[in-house]
């Protein structure tokens, strides 16, 4: 198991964020749910990570940097692991610290 440096993690995050914001922008413009735009963003973010990591073990950002999601022992994570991992992304740790 190879550890990924912070620069690669940042690249993954930025690429994924650009994709999620692009999807969000299109969905909000098409649906006109302006009052629920933040809720739509978090739903899209959750589904993006959950679907990509469950099916491929990678998000688009990870595909570009040639990294993938694995557990501590180097195996592919289960659906439950990915769901917990995805939910933890939604917790605003910056605001709590």
Q: Is the dihedral of CA 18, 24, 93, 67 positive or negative?
A: negative
Between CA 90 and CA 76 the distance in angstroms is 22
Q: How far is CA 42 from CA 15, 47, 65, in A?
A: 17, 9, 24
CB atoms within 10 A of CB 16: 20
Please give the structure tokens belonging to residue 25.
């922008």
DSSP annotation string for 19-62: HHHHHHHHHHHHH--GGGHHHHHHHHHHHHHHHHHHHTS--HHH
Would you kindly state where each structural domain of the chain is located, as residue ranges? 6-90
| Comparison of pLDDT for 22 and 4, the residue scoring more | 22
pLDDT, one tens digit per residue, over 29-63 is 888 766 788 888 999 999 999 999 999 999 999 99
Question: Would you say residue 93 has pLDDT above 80?
Answer: no
């Amino acid at each position: 198991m190879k550890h990924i440096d912070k620069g690669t993690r940042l690249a993954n995050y930025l690429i994924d964020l650009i994709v999620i914001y692009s999807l969000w922008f299109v969905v909000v413009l098409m649906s006109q749910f302006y009052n629920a735009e933040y809720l739509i963003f978090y739903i899209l973010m959750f589904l993006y990570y959950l679907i990509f990591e469950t099916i491929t073990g990678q998000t688009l950002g990870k595909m570009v940097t040639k990294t993938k999601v694995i557990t501590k022992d180097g195996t592919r994570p289960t659906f439950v692991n990915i769901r917990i991992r995805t939910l933890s992304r939604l917790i605003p740790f910056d605001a709590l610290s």
